[in-house]
Amino acid sequence: MASEANKLRVERWAWILIYGGLLALVLGMFLGRQDRALGDTFQIGGTAVAAAGALLIWIRSLMK
């Protein structure tokens, strides 16, 4: 059984990763207009970070 502190920590990191990843994704869209490679890098990285946050939400739902 996970403690309340661990549940809260996982939940906070999940939302930090989701919002940070979405911010990087949007920034990559804007950067892609000037530098395609840099924009693609930000978009791929942002998507991966947001997906990691979504995974943490699933992990949090399994904690009892």
Tell me the domain boundaries of the chain.
Answer: 9-62
Task: Note whether 46 and 18 are within 8 A (CB).
Answer: no
pLDDT of residue 64: 82
> What sign does the dihedral 63-9-21-44 (CA atoms) show?
negative
pLDDT of residue 7: 95
Q: Which tokens hold the place of 42? A: 């930000």
pLDDT of residue 15: 98
pLDDT of residue 63: 93
Q: Rounded to two decimals, what is the model's pTM?
A: 0.90
Q: Which residues contact 20 (CB under 8 A, 6 or more apart)?
A: 46, 49, 50, 53
pLDDT of residue 22: 98
- Low pLDDT (below 50) residues in the chain: none
